[in-house]
Amino acid sequence: MNPIGLVFALVAGAFLFTLPRHLAAIPLLIGAVYMTRTPVFELGPAHFTLMQIMVSIGILRVLLKGEQIANGMNRMDRWVLLWAIWYIASCVFHTSDAWLFRIGVAWNDLGCYFLFRFFVQDGEGVERIFKVLCVVLVPVALLMLLEKATGKNLFAVLGTGGSEAVDFRHGHFRARGPFAHAILAGVVGATCFPMALYLWKSHRKHAWAGLFSTGVIIITSTSSGPIMMLLFILFGLAIWKVRAHLHTLRWLSLTAVFFLDAAMKDPVYFLMARIDISGGSTGWYRARLIQSSIEHLDEWWLAGSDYTRHWMPTGQIAKIQHSDITNHLLGMGVMGGLPLMFLFIMVLIAAFGTVGRVLRENADASTRHHFLIWVLGAILFGHVCNFFSISLYDQSVVFFYLTLACIGGVQSTKSFTDVEIKQLVGRIRQSRHVAIEGIMRERNRADENLFPLEYRPANKSFCKH
């Protein structure tokens, strides 16, 4: 048991239960930023992490207060549920101890996703999330700067699951902050960087704080993956100006992939082997892992596999029976075979479909509201590209499900469209004119009562003088 982590969980859980609905997501975010999945409470064979404790408190709150998801369940929600069901059900094809672990993971991931769906109700709620993250990441960034300079992780005292020592590669410390690995810390920074960009015009102070904190987190992690993820997100934001031609751009991209695959000696995914931004990148390993998974498809296609060590020459330290599966989609395949991978991909497709549908259904919405939806789609695009180089396994996965939940919540925004604003202004002006005319009539009646007609100037109203 970690006393500091347990106290942190109880305090954050108390705020989660008592805060108003529109603020209830803040304790969840703070918990995800400052604590990892390392167990903080043990009860027999069950080990509970901070996020699992907070999810339990959040679900209790939702049940007792009768809170509802805005606009009800959507297609993405249903695919997430199906994914979680098969994630647990496929345990029958694995070792007997898989049940407890998978139930815990599903409880954490599914719980976080649906709690964010309950608490993030509209576009205003999404913007509030952006502002909160810009602020709460500042201490993380400062401590990661100190970590990179000294080689000691001060978050270890909170129960990060490791020592104060920091990974040292090719002459550089790789700061990880409260996260399980430096790459995962960088992923969180890359996820939140565009949130700060979105706030630039409306909340400049929050934007400055967010750009500083997320930039520092990405740089101090000293990892190529988060930098590439950020570049993909920025590319997604850049095509905002040509969004009317998005359909053409998709087909051109797909055509380019086919041409590259035909022209290259190795499969097209070996382009990862040639990318090394930070120095010391292992892109070749990630490309070869994909190739190995295809070569051993017969071992895992149905429901996954409990042994993948022979796929690659190196493996995990914690699980010697597995290779290091640095690919989130392949991780789904190893856990539940092609069915689980398919369900996860359908979640992504439903999320992108929701972005497109909300943009179409809100054609008359303000440009700011459109861009908010586009930013969420760009963040999701960055995650999908990043899934080919990393598997999310600590609290960084919360930020992926936060993105999905925000996409589901922003469709129910009640903000005024440009047309509605013009109509409202017109009604206000009309009401003002009606009110003025009514006042004038009342004054003229008063004139008629106080002053006989023969004492008033001809063809003029007394009140006009």
Model confidence over 24-63: pLDDT tens digits? 999 999 999 988 777 677 777 777 888 899 999 999 999 9
Beta bridge partners of 172: 169
Summarize the chain as % helix, strand, coil (round to 5).
Answer: 70, 5, 25
**What's the whole-number mean pLDDT along residues 72-87?**
96
pLDDT by residue (tens digit) across 269-324?
998 888 777 666 678 899 999 999 999 999 999 999 999 999 987 766 667 888 99
What pLDDT score does 109 carry?
Answer: 95
Instruction: Tell me which residue of 93, 116, 91, 86 sits closest to 101, measured CA to CA.
Output: 91
Give the residue with greater pLDDT, 460 vs 16: 16
The pLDDT > 70 percentage for the chain reads 85
What pLDDT score does 110 carry?
Answer: 95
The pLDDT > 90 percentage for the chain reads 60
The answer, yes or no, to whether residue 19 has pLDDT greater than 70, is: yes
**What's the whole-number mean pLDDT along residues 366-384?**
95
Overall pTM surpassing 0.75 (yes/no): yes
What pLDDT score does 424 carry?
Answer: 57
What pLDDT score does 167 carry?
Answer: 86
**What's the whole-number mean pLDDT along residues 380-402?**
95
Beta bridge partners of 169: 172
Q: Which of 370-379, 417-426, 428-437 has the highest mean pLDDT?
A: 370-379
Distance between CA 135 and CA 150 in Å, rounded?
24
Sequence spans of domains, the chain: 72-415, 419-464
Phi, psi of 46 (to 5 degrees): -90, 130
**What's the whole-number mean pLDDT along residues 454-463?**
50
Kindly state the DSSP code that residue 251 receives in the 8-state scheme: H
pLDDT by residue (tens digit) across 89-106?
999 999 888 898 999 999
pLDDT by residue (tens digit) across 150-199?
988 888 766 544 567 788 887 889 999 999 899 999 999 999 999 999 99
pLDDT by residue (tens digit) across 392-430?
988 999 999 999 999 999 875 444 444 555 565 666 667
**What's the whole-number mean pLDDT along residues 133-153?**
94
Contact between residue 117 and residue 411 where contact means Cβ atoms under 8 Å apart: no
What pLDDT score does 3 carry?
Answer: 76
CA distances from 125 to 26, 128, 411, 414 (A): 11, 5, 12, 11
Give the residue with greater pLDDT, 232 vs 316: 232
| Average pLDDT of every residue of the chain | 87
Residues 6+ away with beta carbon under 8 Å from 68? 118
What pLDDT score does 316 carry?
Answer: 65
Distance between CA 109 and CA 56 in Å, rounded?
12
Banded model confidence at residue 67, pLDDT cuts 50, 70, 90: very high
The answer, yes or no, to whether residue 79 has pLDDT greater than 70, is: yes
The answer, yes or no, to whether residue 438 has pLDDT greater than 90, is: no
What pLDDT score does 416 carry?
Answer: 43
Contact between residue 144 and residue 179 where contact means Cβ atoms under 8 Å apart: no
Other Cβ atoms closer than 10 A to 17: 16
What pLDDT score does 1 carry?
Answer: 54
Residue whose token pair is 């996860």? 344
